[in-house]
Chain A
Amino acid sequence: MKIKNISSAAKRFWVLLFVVVQMGCTEFLTEVAPSNLTPESFYTIPDHAEAAIASVYADLRHMGNGAGIFSANWQLLEAMTGTSTTETAQNSDLNNLYGLVHDGFTIHIRNYYIGLYRVIAQANQVIEKVPAITPMDAAQKKRILGEAQFLRASAYFTAVQLWGDIPLISKPQTASSEDFNPSRASVESVYKLIVDDLVAAEAAGLPWMDASGRVGSAAIKAQLAKVYLTMAGFPLKKGASHYKLAADKAFEVITYANSNPSVINLFTTYYDVHRESTKNKLEHLFMIQYNTSVAGNPMGNFFPNFKPVTFNGPGGTGSSVPTSAFYKSYEAGDLRAKNQEGYFYTSYFTNGNGAPFELGAPYVFKHFNQTANGFAGVAGSRNDNLNVPQIRYAEVLLIYAEAQNEVGGPTQAAYDALKRIRDRAQLTTPALGTFNANSFRELVWKERWHELCFEQITWFDMVRLRKAFNENTKGFDEFVGHTNLSSNQKLQQKHLLLPLPVPEMQNNPNLKPQNPGY
């Protein structure tokens, strides 16, 4: 009787077990991520388009991300120019850039490559997904697509100047995408996409300036002018046709500025160039946006090494500091070289607002935020909300001056553009008649070096011109053979292009060959 009883219990358990087992399989292992969206569940309403374009803007900050100890990615574009050196040898990748012995492993090079393609991928996502959103206000849609095209073009523009032939990706990727393992596309084809994108963006109906920090059409036109100017030079050497395009495009901006001087203009003081209250205004046509609610200004490696110039005391690294040769290359009386009034400082206030002290050397003031760090007698806000400038009106004037000169020698308009830059620096400029095309060209170049220094522009000038400013002769050397005074190393042919990141080549067998010399 006992066994019978129990075996019937056993039967019940077997049945129960069977039922439970059957129940288990179906739903139990299905996965839905509660804290993340999937592409299938997104891009359906206009707000999604706004969120998508915000991610593209967000990824622009890659240039400020860290590249190992005491270094940020943007130092890639400063270290190789020879205009700056370092007060700390702690970051061996940065040392290698200063010494021009960088290679396909150098972290800054790898990070820039990844960062640029990340921006491109985010923009591709917008350009691919937003058109299908309905209903959506047509103007809003056009605007967002225009912004995405500008940002994609700008990322490709940087990449093509750094590496030459590069993968050209214009669609969102999955692991099964055809171009997931892309080959290198020609420089020409990359520039075609850049120009197409910018031309499309130009027609997106964006306002000339947007004080919120979104891209405006002044920035798009300026960028297009810059692209044409670059195409005119090395390596494409399009010459006159593109100098003309560059000059015309720049002149569109100048024309607008001349008739709207309160919208686009040069700042009256250099202080306004690095002032929180002038962000995205007047001279700043486009900037990478920073606010400590998201991220603080990333240019801290310009601070001197452990000298107490901010509220934060002796916190700086000095990993990018001007060479004294470059500082001394400014003309006598150039306001830009004047302590705390121009782009440099040689003394400051202890802990930002205390007793003044001598720094013993010039440091970069262009990215110094006095509102945050403090100045004479006024304590800093401690929140460095300064943006990083990308395109200033000053550059537009210089693009015009340079391009117009190449089209037909120095004209009055070209001269005026150049003179505005020099006037602000309180420099006298010889009369137009004293210039020929050559002397005007070199003066424009020199102004580019002196006006646009430490804004990650100089390296691209060196590459497109194949020239380098000689701080001692105040003239221009050929790129190959020029000695960078920061490290006494000579620039070589191979330095015109960066090496492709080696891990990238290992991960993608189609990415070949490596750039020559590496």
Chain B
Amino acid sequence: MQTKSYPKMTAILVACLLSLGWMTTAIGQTVKGKVTDEKGEALIGVNIIVKETSKGTTTDLDGMYSIEVAGANSVLSFTYLGYESKDVVVNNQTVINVTLSPDSKVLSEVVVIGYGTQRKSDLTGSVSSVKENDLLERPSPSLNQALAGRMAGVQVNNNSGRPGGRTTVRVRGFSSINSSNNPLYVVDGVMLPQGTQNQFSNAIDYINPNDIVSVEVLKDASSTAIYGARGANGVILITTRKGKAGEGTVSYNVDMSVNTTGPNKPDVLNAAEYVAVEDLAWRNMEKYDPTGWKAGKWAYLDPKLRRIDPRVWNADGSPKFDTDWFEESTQASLSQNHNLGFNGGNERTQYAFSMGYRDDQGLIKTTYMKRYSGRFTIDDQIKPWLKVGGTLSYNNQAERLSDVNDAVSRQIVEDFPFLPVKYEDGTYANNRDFPFAEGTFSSVHRLYGRQFILNTQTTLGSFYANIKLAKGLEFKSVAGVNIQTQENNQSQTRTLAIANRGEASVSNRKETFWSLENYLTYNKSINKIHNINALLGVSWQQTDVFGISGNSRTFATDYFGFNNLGAAGVIGGVGSDAAQFSFNSYFGRVNYSLKNKYLVTVTGRSDGSSKFGANEKFAFFPSGALAWRVSEEDFLKGNSVISNLKVRTSYGLTGNSEIPAYSSLSLLSSNYATVIGDTRVSGTGISRLANPNLQWEKTAQTDIGVELGLFNNRLNLELDYYYRLTTDMLLDAPVPSSSGYTTIRRNVGSMENQGIEFTVNATIVDKDKFQWTSFFNISANRNKVLTLATPSDIFNVGGPNFTNPTNIIRIGEPVGSFWGLTRLGIWSEAERAEAAKFTSYRNGLTILPGDIKYKDFNGDYAITDADRSIIGNGTPDFWGTLSNTVRFGNLDLTLDLQYSYGNEVMLMNLHPSEDRQALANSYSSVLNAWTPTNQNTMIAEVRDTRAGYVTNVDTWWIKDGSFLRGRNLLVGYNFPAETLSKLRLSKLRLYASAQNFFLIVSDKIIGDPEVTPTNQGGGNSAFSQGMIWHNYPKPTVLLIGAQVAF
């Protein structure tokens, strides 16, 4: 083309003007001024840019600035976070004082939505958002922990006290039984793997939360349908820190913390109490097994004969030690977290660079989480019509876990108090050293003898190009990549892995994801009456997974740990596996607003997935939404009370595709192995039934919402009701096992969730030196299974599976309900004859007064499955947060309370620690066990288990877990401007925080009600919520920190 491009012309023109200006001495015109807020207070650090140039400055501590401009036509742009930006033409002024007015926060707030952004006021869907300042108020090792309680309808359970924690996130309840219930995380436009990863972690757990500046949760179908087949569980959009134009800033955030013993620590028998209980337990054997007792069968258990080890017992049989194993297994070590950031740029190019280091030392000794992270981001307006940019981040996280199974936390309770930690010769003392006790190793021995290391490296990158094709028409192309490698290295010493004389294993799993998304957006405003915003795009995504593993056993030394598998006497198994799956999608959206009052959104996505049957690869997910900004109507405009009123409704379809690849194919397994000639021989046999018709799981969601702002938006209320119907559930549906198979992956079954979400934001006091803001939310969700593949109940979901089934999925009931017997109490002396009528549920021995009394539903005098019923559910009736922030001048105080009501917990610890004695230590609750003089109790009479005991999942294990938690109490101080200027800083904030500092629970429980078991059942961990089975104890965290910037 002949003509020169516009930018070049501009450059020449500017150059001409500049030289002209220089000749006419107009160059160097300096503009000064002061920037203040609406109250006349100086604003510090306001960005001022001379438009169309790279010149910029910021205001000083007095709000003053000075900048050279080219001439009268120059335009100064003033921007400041939380305030509306302002452009001023210089003309001939030399002093320009500017007053910035605050963003009328809620309304003009911009939120990120799928493939774009939108003013909150224009939203038709249900979107919750959390900004950087809120995240900073609760320093957390992972994003999910920082989000807990922030948003109505988003249930974040922080289920473990270990470093790095373990969270489950449910947006508006459960949508699925066999596929994932996790939301989809999208970081700067790049999707993260959605499934549950090693040790029930999520890909988001491996990203430094300090790099995150905003989080949006898309909840209703109108906002999630743009993510089609992966939107059914909600979508969490994460925006990371970008560079800013203007003077560069350096920021450094640091915090130091200590984990201390949290609420409800286990209360166990001390040495003297234990000895007394054991004495009684032995004597009571005579009552509970009279025949055996008479035959002398239990003589060997006489405590006198067992308490003879001179290392442990005095000559008179009294214990030499009284060890507090909780004390011995825990530590109060210093944890630290450092984040260093650089941020700068000019009108054309902005960059940000950050580094982070985190070292969390767990409450339980030897456990830690260390994270090194680095991140670089750049944006460049390379041409007026072309903007490019990208982000690259790398995280390296190393964790040592002790809660990989129940062993340590359980052992802390069960270790005998009369044992020392180590004998004089330096070897560990273990319960198994005491004659005829359970053959366990001590908690401390396990802590130091077992390694379980998880090393995770995450590389997350994205690159985009944004092209202005015409006025209002833009093309954006985003290429993303997410590579996660995860090593899992384990070893056990020769003294722990006795059978193998030491064992070690390593594994590595690499998941490589790439995506390429291209889309056009079009904005058009016609006479300021019709506003149209349209989106059209196409996407390709692919994931490759490759894993390798190896193990070996029998080592001559513990020295190697897992670092030299080849040094072992027996080289064990090796394995590898690979999988690939891909998506190809087409999507579009139209937002239309009429007179800024009537808003319409229509969305559609056509998703194709490799995981589905050949004829069912593609599916279409539409949605539509309407909103009416009532407060823009004449009859409300300018109303002194109602400043904002919007009603909205949406309906749409989203999907779930989180099943393993190749689920639709007929597969053989080559992982069979048999022994021929005492040698391993591998085999190939049947594995999976084909289902060529396998397709998407669909969730249809209806949402109705109201947003109300009162008193100039000082009081904001938001209420949503939703109904979600999941159909065609991807279920491992049972088939007649006469076929040799037990399940087929099918689309059957349906489930509903309905609920309400209510949020209040209030600025209660807004004075010069005193502000008080309050935030409250409440959510309720009701889940019900509507149909399943066959009427047969589904068991073995959730729970550590060491008893009969703990959870059930049954039509008409909430998924994963607790399942068990009903404990009526303990048989009394008066009921001796009645008790004896029962078919024994105690080692074949007669049921006696002092034994547990169950409800015999069908009256057949036998306690069988017919007497089991649904006895509870781990999902709360409602839950939420109340958060208050008060500012006195430079001092601020935040109190964050979390509450949950109606969630039951299953206290499975009662099985080993209350239902049975003389094998290990017990909870001190057994001091209230049944005796002929204490018949009104729920705890069976103490007896050595070998004389017959009774233990079953029953209603006594079910407790009301409703709770109120002091989640965070934070006091902060921002140094005033004068001090900062002396220190040459732009920001200095010091703060101190106490997290999980109190807990009030409805019923007395041991541990924390917000919990899942550590060794929950395989892939169905979704239904383990509220099951207490020896979890990593949740600490009270005491933290101090500083935020510095200059």
Contacts and interface: CB of A to CB of B under 8 A. Distances in A.
B740 A503 contact: no
Given A10-B470, A504-B737, A99 B862 contact: yes
Nearest to A169: B738
A29 B614 CA distance: 9
Interface stretch (B420-428, B449-457, B670-678): B670-678
Interface in A159-218: 166-167, 169, 172-175, 177, 180-182, 211-214
Contact of B469 (A7, A53, A99): A7
Contacts of A467: none
B438 A306 contact: yes
Given A51-B683, A289-B674, A92 B804 contact: yes
B65 to A, nearest CB: 34
Contact of A37 (B668, B866, B919): B668
A48 B742 CA distance: 24
B498 A36 contact: no
B608 A114 contact: no
A305 interface: yes
Interface string A43-71: 00000100111111111000000001100
A507 interface: yes
A5 B436 contact: no
Interface in B781-803: 789-793, 801-803
A29 B843 contact: no
B668 A36 contact: yes
A20 to B, nearest CB: 7
Interface stretch (A249-257, A309-317, A471-479): A309-317
Contacts of B734: 503, 507
Nearest to A184: B738
B473 A29 contact: no
Nearest to A385: B678
Interface stretch (B54-62, B248-256, B297-305, B1013-1021): B297-305
Interface in A464-499: 486-489
B470 to A, nearest CB: 6
A438 interface: no
A360 B737 contact: no
A432 interface: no
Interface stretch (B22-30, B115-123, B153-161, B574-582): B574-582
B933 interface: no
Given A4-B1, A68-B804, A312-B499, A28 B582 contact: yes
B687 A36 contact: yes
A406 B392 CA distance: 85
A13 B735 CA distance: 51
B952 interface: yes
B518 A17 contact: yes
B803 A68 contact: yes
Contacts of B679: 291, 293
B667 interface: yes
A105 B468 CA distance: 67
A262 interface: no
B5 A54 contact: no
A13 B436 CA distance: 78
Nearest to B670: A37
A89 B843 contact: yes
A24 interface: yes
Interface in B578-619: 578-584, 586, 608-611, 617
A294 interface: yes
B500 interface: yes
Interface string A81-110: 000011111111101101111110111000
B685 interface: yes
Contacts of A504: 736-738
B970 interface: no
Contacts of B804: 68, 91-93, 107
Contacts of B802: 68-69
Given A17-B538, A99-B844, A122 B667 contact: no
A9 B846 CA distance: 89
A290 interface: yes
Contacts of A113: 737
B437 interface: yes
For the complex of A and B, list the 7 residue pairs with the smallest distance between their C-beta atoms, beginning with the closest: A121-B740, A55-B685, A54-B683, A55-B683, A506-B792, A289-B675, A173-B739
Given A42-B668, A54-B673, A507-B734, 13 more contacts: A29-B609, A33-B579, A55-B674, A69-B803, A96-B864, A102-B864, A173-B689, A173-B740, A312-B498, A313-B439, A503-B793, A506-B792, A507-B735
26 contacts: A2-B5, A4-B1, A21-B586, A25-B584, A31-B611, A33-B662, A37-B670, A38-B665, A38-B666, A54-B682, A54-B684, A59-B672, A85-B843, A99-B862, A100-B839, A101-B860, A101-B862, A118-B740, A121-B741, A125-B686, A173-B740, A289-B674, A291-B679, A293-B675, A307-B436, A506-B791
